Structure formats: structure tokens, C-alpha cells
Structure 1
Amino acid sequence: MAEMDHSNYKQTKTERGFTYSYYYSTPAPGKPVLFFSHGFPSASFLWRKQVAFFQPLGYGIIVPDHLGYGGTDKPTDPKLYVGRGLAEDMRDILDAEGVATVIAIGHDWGSYLVSRMLHYIPQRISAVTFCDVGYMPVEPGVNFISQREAFIKMIGYDAFAYQRFFIQPDAAAIIEKNIDSFISMSYPEKPELWKENMCVDGGARAWIESNTITASPSYLTPENKEAIRTSLLSGGLAGPLCWYTQQLEQANIDEDAKLPAAAREFAHPLLFIACTKDYVVLPAFGDSSHGKYAKGPVTRKEIDADHWGPMSHAAEVNEMLLEWFGTLG
């Protein structure tokens, strides 16, 4: 993407043996390093508008392509996508650049990864922002897929129904075959389409298998769409979908179960940017988690956005971040 110069991408091999690709820009003297963590199905370019805003201001920037995405390795064993391993991979990237601490900013599964960094390498984070998807604490044996009845009781519909399709053995092939339909479903012009299709049992599969394509939102330019399409098809969907299938892996439960309950709490300054038109990840989910686990100062902001606030409302997100950075010691 134009806002993220390809020459700023670097690679490093982590202790687990994975080669990671990441965008890196050194900080000006006295400026902190910002660590941007993307989710599904975006890769590092999700944050291009944040990079274009903060890099000229002198902030250091680290934006990894997470495991399964972009220029990073793409193993297909879900056990490799569990929290501790991913957090330690991030530690290895920070070590490679000699970065002691970062302000970590997460979105979607990137919020899950930042949450695990708070669990396993908390000393490497000075402050944390969760955009749309809030803090996701270790809760052994609990995952979105298994909580169907609880969510229906709480909000009146099956918010995470689509994940039951994403974990099926044929999901990657179906999505790759109908990639434009998948992108259309993931980035809808009308946010309500998520509730009508992804939050209905069998809805996501039906949408993609029928190759449904609807209008794109204004923030998804043809260039953006092509970048997403190329990124996903070049590496395939098997890796990215492991972020979902790992929820069902006993390895994840065993690893996280070793963590003391106190490690779920954190005292880092927190900014939560809620997206009020996300029908899957409701702001109340983040609010509930932060009320229970965030023991430091909490700042809460809202944007009138669907799931993709960092793209659609980039200017608002950037100003909220900049203002909040100014409150940090």
C-alpha cells in the first residue's frame, strides 16, 4: 500500500523457528514505539493510515504480518497459533529491533494477541489500546464457538455463528474459490448484513458458496480490495483460519491453564475505541472485560463505525490515539 513503503519491511526468525515479516520505522529521540496488531483477514496493511499519520510525527512503528499472513510463515497446525507462542514471537521481534517497550494497539484477533502479550510479556508493554475488540483474557475451556447459547441469551442472536463455518475442514478451499464473495461478506457496505448472514447458523457458508457479492463500502477502495485479495490468495486461507481452529485445540487450554488467575489482570493504561455499528463484536463485550480485568486508568471512546474502524474512520482513530498518547507519562 502506498502509505507503507515496502522498503520499510524487515524479516526476523523467532525462537520458534518462524520467519516474520514486519514494517519497522525507528522512533525520533524521546518518542515511543507503536506496535500495531492486525486480525482476520487483514495483514499489516490494515494499519496503513495509522502508519502514514504517526510515522511523520516521529513515533517508532512496528506492524507485523501475523502468523499465517502476508510475508510471514503460514503453518497449518492450529497448535502453533496459541497465545503464549504468538506472544513470544512478538517478544523476539522487539528484541531484534532492540525495542524495550511498546504502546500496543490491537484490532480483531490482533486484540487477542495483544492480550496474550499482557499475559506473558507484560513488561514489554507500556500502555495498550484495543480497537473494536476489547481485552480477551485467558479463560480455559471458554471460547466464542462454545458459547452459542450464552450469546443468544445475552444479545438475542448467534453473534459468532460464522466461526463454526471457519473451523470446518473445507472452509479454506471454499473461501479461496469464492474470494470476492468472501471479501464482500467481510467488508459489507451495510453493517447489518453481518447480523443477517454471519450471525445465523449456516449463513456464512451459504453466502460464500452461492458467491454472493454486494456493494463495497466507500473505505474499501479498489486498491485496498486488490491488496486484500492478493495477500489472501498468495498464502491461502488455511493459516489465517487457524486463529479460529486453535480455540478448539487442547494445547491452548493446557498452556493458558498454567497461567495464574492474577495474570489476567493488568494495570497498564488502557484506551478502548468502541465501534458502535459492529453487530458481531458489541461494545458491551469489551466494557465487561475491562470492568473486570483492567486495574489501571481506562479511557473509553466511541466511533460510529462497523468492525473496520481503523480503515473507515482512520482520522478519528488517529486523533483519539494522539490525544491519549499525550496523557501517558
Structure 2
Amino acid sequence: MDESNYKQTKTKRGFNYTYYYSPPAAGKPVLFFSHGFPSASFLWRKQVAFFQPLGYGIIVPDHLGYRGTDKPTDPKLYVGHGLAADMADILDAEDVSQVVAIGHDWGSYVLSRMLHYVPQRISACAFFALGYMPAEGVNTLPLHGQIAQMVGYDVFAYQRFFLAPDAAVLIEKNIDSFINLLYPEKPESWKDTLCVDGGARAWVEGNKITALPSYMTAEDKENLRSVLLSGGLAAPLCWYKAKVDEANLAEDAKLPPAARDVTQPFLYVAFTKDIVALPAFSDANTSKYVKGPVTKKEVAADHWGVSSHAAELNEILVNWIGGLALKL
């Protein structure tokens, strides 16, 4: 992604955001790509390389905690309505009224909150791996035991490590091991690392190192390493801490029930080899909350299918967008 296309704006909440921007050609919509943890706007480099030459407008923010964007370490600042407002401010900075929004991982959380709080800015929405995440004002941490019994393994065990007070320092100390943990050479290894109580901590503390996955070059890894170390992990880990923050949960609970319903055209692409973002979780929320037209596709990828199966995803996305009757 060309560095000359990156811009910066200050949101009404007072945060400086960096974001990638390329204007649309006549008759083309603007695509808004939302990344998750631990990543940055460059997660979408293969999508940008595909869609930008076709004339689509592109906006790809670096979310709070990443790259040139501010890095607050108070979880209360990661509240959903605030993040949605920040994204609307970025759209305003480019005089973009509506976007086709695409989310992955925690980027799906941001997209979900945009659908709650600024739905008029989204003409259609697509979720990769992790689907729609409604604001219900409930701490799901106590439910992890029930989920483990249902699924057969402790899907979210790693989150207990991410919430620990010493997690940021430990990860920064052994950053290469952490990257190998989150971007595994063998995707199925997550069942023995992320999805075992204490498994993620043991991996990072042991500074275990493996080969990179096939979709990650040495340059990709160095880019990610630089981004994570330049700002530290305290801010990125706030995305997990905000999830259990009582003030944020109380804010979510205030959302009117009708605001949780999605009426926009909706695409969900399940990654069938994902050990954590299981399609069944997303299917349940889609069935309950999505009232508009739904398209579901499956890709035989692990959690990082955005990178490993980019060509397949790009074709799914461009064909879906082409079938939408968007008002431009």
C-alpha cells in the first residue's frame, strides 16, 4: 500500500487517526476495510491492490492502538459508540456519505458498532471470519466454560492471558514468539496453544519460535513486528479489556433493541478452518438480528484467510458488490 495515500485526521473525540484513502472513479462505491488484532491497515493490502485499480474508492483506517493512530490505554475509550463516531469522522474528512464496509476480527466489532450508531453511513456490510457482533451489554467471559463444553475445547482461553496485567510487557519481550503464536505455521496448533488454559502464556513465556505461515513473508513479519513494537501492546490489548469493562457494557445495554437489527445487504464469509471464530457463532447472530438480504459463503481458510485466500475472497466480494443496487 502506497504510503503517499495515507492521511491523518483528528476526530471529535480528540484522537488522531491515520488511514489509507484512494478516491472512487465515477460510478464506483467507496469500500471501507476494518482490521482487527494484532494487525493494522496493511492487513488489507491484497484487497486494496485488487479493488483500487478497478476504480473503487478505498478507506482503510489504522484503528486505535495501531501504527500512526493514537494509542490510549484506558479501555473506556474503546467504547463502541465512540469508535463508530471516530469512523464517521474519517468519512466526513473525505466527504464520503456512505460506504460498503468490510470487517475482520475486531474490525467486525467496529463495523457492528457502526451499524448500531451510524447505520446511515453504511450501504452494505461484509464480515470475514468473525461475523456480526451485537451490543447486548453482557460480559461473555463467564460463558466461556459453557462454550468449551459445547464445542469440545476452550475456544477463548487465550483471552484470559490477554487480560492479564503483565501481558503487554511479556508479549513485547518475546514479540517474535507472539507473532508465531497468532500467525501459526500450522493453523490446527491453536487448539493446543490459544485454546488451552495457560497455553498462550506458556508459549510466549517459553519464547517458542516456528516457521512463518506460507502467506506471510519475512517482510510482512517485519512490518507487523515494527508496528506492534513501535507503540507497544498496552493499547491493542485494550480491545479485549474494553470487552469486559463495566462502563462499556452499561453503555451497550442502553442501545435500543431495534438498533441491533441490520437491514443492509449482508455478506458473511466463513473461514471453515478457523479454530476460534467458529462459523456457528456468527450464524446464530445473523439469524437473530439480520433482517435484510443475507449472502453466506465459505472459504477453506484459517483465521487469516484475508491474506492466505485473498484472490478467492476478492472474487466473492467483487461479485457480491456487483449484484447490489447501490445508490451512488
Give the aligned partner of residue 166 of structure 1: 162
Matched, 1:150 2:146: yes
Matched, 1:27 2:24: yes
Q: Give the one of 7, 12, 15 matched to 1:10.
A: 7
Q: Give the one of 41, 44, 66 matched to 1:44.
A: 41
Matched, 1:116 2:113: yes
Cα deviation for residue 99 of structure 1 reads 0.2
Which residue identity is paired with 2:128?
A: C
Report which stretch shifted further, 250-259 or 15-24.
250-259
Report which stretch shifted further, 151-160 or 307-316.
151-160
Q: Give the one of 300, 305, 313 matched to 2:301.
A: 305
Give the aligned partner of residue 80 of structure 1: 77
CA distance in 2 between counterparts of 1:215 and 1:326 reads 39
Matched, 1:133 2:125: no
Give the aligned partner of residue 187 of structure 2: 191
Cα deviation for residue 156 of structure 1 reads 1.2
Which residue identity is paired with 1:109?
A: W
Matched, 1:272 2:268: yes
List structure 1 runs of 4+ shifted beyond 2 angstroms.
Answer: none
Cα deviation for residue 141 of structure 1 reads 1.8
How do 1:93-112 and structure 2 match up within 5 A?
93-112=90-109
Which residue identity is paired with 2:175?
A: I
CA distance in 2 between counterparts of 1:257 and 1:303 reads 34
Cα deviation for residue 77 of structure 1 reads 0.4
Which residue identity is paired with 1:160?
A: F
Cα deviation for residue 149 of structure 1 reads 1.6
RMSD: 0.7
CA distance in 2 between counterparts of 1:44 and 1:154 reads 35
CA distance in 1 between counterparts of 2:248 and 2:74 reads 12
**SS of residue paired to 1:46:** helix
CA distance in 2 between counterparts of 1:147 and 1:175 reads 26
Matched, 1:217 2:201: no
Cα deviation for residue 139 of structure 1 reads 1.4
CA contact (8 A) 2:40 2:66 kept: yes
Cα deviation for residue 154 of structure 1 reads 2.0
TM-score in terms of structure 1 length: 0.98
Give the aligned partner of residue 180 of structure 1: 176
CA distance in 2 between counterparts of 1:267 and 1:256 reads 19
Cα deviation for residue 142 of structure 1 reads 3.0
Give the aligned partner of residue 234 of structure 2: 238
Cα deviation for residue 189 of structure 1 reads 1.4
Which residue identity is paired with 2:165?
A: P
**SS of residue paired to 2:33:** strand
Cα deviation for residue 28 of structure 1 reads 0.3
CA distance in 1 between counterparts of 2:252 and 2:175 reads 34
Percent identity among equivalent residues?
70
CA distance in 2 between counterparts of 1:154 and 1:118 reads 30
**SS of residue paired to 1:240:** coil
Cα deviation for residue 146 of structure 1 reads 2.7
CA contact (8 A) 2:139 2:244 kept: no
CA deviations on 1:147-200 (whole Å, 9 max, x unpaired) are 212211221111000000001110000000000000000011111111111101
Give the aligned partner of residue 288 of structure 1: 284
Give the aligned partner of residue 55 of structure 1: 52
**SS of residue paired to 2:161:** helix
CA deviations on 1:100-134 (whole Å, 9 max, x unpaired) are 00000000000000000000000000000000000
Which residue identity is paired with 1:253?
A: L
Give the aligned partner of residue 323 of structure 1: 319
CA deviations on 1:288-324 (whole Å, 9 max, x unpaired) are 1101111111111111100001100000010000000
Cα deviation for residue 219 of structure 1 reads 0.2
Which residue identity is paired with 2:180?
A: S
Which residue identity is paired with 1:299?
A: T
Report which stretch shifted further, 23-32 or 245-254.
245-254
CA distance in 1 between counterparts of 2:280 and 2:150 reads 10
Give the aligned partner of residue 255 of structure 1: 251
CA distance in 2 between counterparts of 1:23 and 1:93 reads 10
**SS of residue paired to 1:244:** helix
Cα deviation for residue 282 of structure 1 reads 0.7
CA contact (8 A) 2:172 2:229 kept: yes
